[in-house]
Amino acid sequence: MSDEKNSSEEAVPSAGPGVETAVQPEQSFGDRLATMRKAAGLSQRQLAKQTGVSQRMIAYYESRAPLPPGHVLARLADALGSSVDELVGAKTLKPSAARRAHPRLWQRFQQIDKLPARERRELFSVIDAFLERHRLAQLAKAS
């Protein structure tokens, strides 16, 4: 559960969004789920909230559990932007449409992921400030 402790405080967990994380067919379900969650840029807590499953169960599925029930698999796959077949390892993962459309952006995410945690947090603060400024400008335009 140490991943959750770190990832819940940052916008992007240790693998970061868009990081080319090869999900191997021989990976356990838990390893595959953790890899896909991190590649999606989600903490265990964020994935739990999106799926309606507790963070504790996400951690359990990632560590030692067999496959979750079918209805949970469907919600996990949906939240991760994949199919159930990709999630359970029956099919190879395809790169996301966003990654194909913006490869330079995803390369930068990979570089950011290699920064020390403190520098990543500082960078996220700057990005958040720009995004908030843009959001406020859009609101002002709409008024």
Chain segment 80-120, per-residue pLDDT in tens:
888 898 888 877 766 655 555 566 776 787 788 788 989 98
pTM of the model: 0.53
Confidence of residue 14 (pLDDT cuts 50, 70, 90): very low
Rounded Cα gap, residues 137 and 112, in angstroms: 27
| String of DSSP letters for the chain | -HHHHHHTTSSS-TT-TT---PPPTTS-HHHHHHHHHHHTT--HHHHHHHHT--HHHHHHHHHT--PPPHHHHHHHHHHHTS-HHHHHTSSPPPPPHHHHH-HHHHHHHHHHHTS-HHHHHHHHHHHHHHHHHHHHHHHHHH-
Q: By residue range, what is the domain housing residue 30?
A: 2-142
- State the total domains in the chain: 1
Q: Say which CATH number the domain at 79 has.
A: 1.10.260.40
Chain segment 28-82, per-residue pLDDT in tens:
889 889 988 888 888 999 999 999 999 999 999 999 778 899 999 999 998 888 8
